[in-house]
Amino acid sequence: MAEDEGLVSVDYEVSGKVQGVFFRKYTQGEAKRLGLVGYVQNTSHGTVQGQIQGPTARVRELQEWLRKIGSPQSRISRAEFSNEKKIKTLEHKEFQILK
């Protein structure tokens, strides 16, 4: 994996049984393990959404995790990704859980 591949920012929204199952906590843990920054939060309509920023290959790993794995008790029905763009610098300092 080339480290000079650049940084990307991607917004996401995950649907299914993703609230009340520690989905945000597990997402934060996985993002930190991959060295990514951004945030995750519950929405008022029962989904989880946020933003991921970091090296492209690592972001892809987290996208796959959000699409297929999630927290142990979660059931993911759909993961949507939008607003993907290349960025020069990270806009977040860490990966946070927002209330």
Q: Report whether 85 contacts 11 (CB < 8 A).
A: no
- The answer to whether residue 83 is catalytic is no
Q: How far is CA 84 from the centre of its chain?
A: 12
Q: 3, 57 in Cβ contact below 8 A?
A: no
Is 24 annotated in the active site?
yes
Catalytic annotation, pick one of 33, 42, 60, 78? 42
Q: Which residues are catalytic?
A: 24, 42
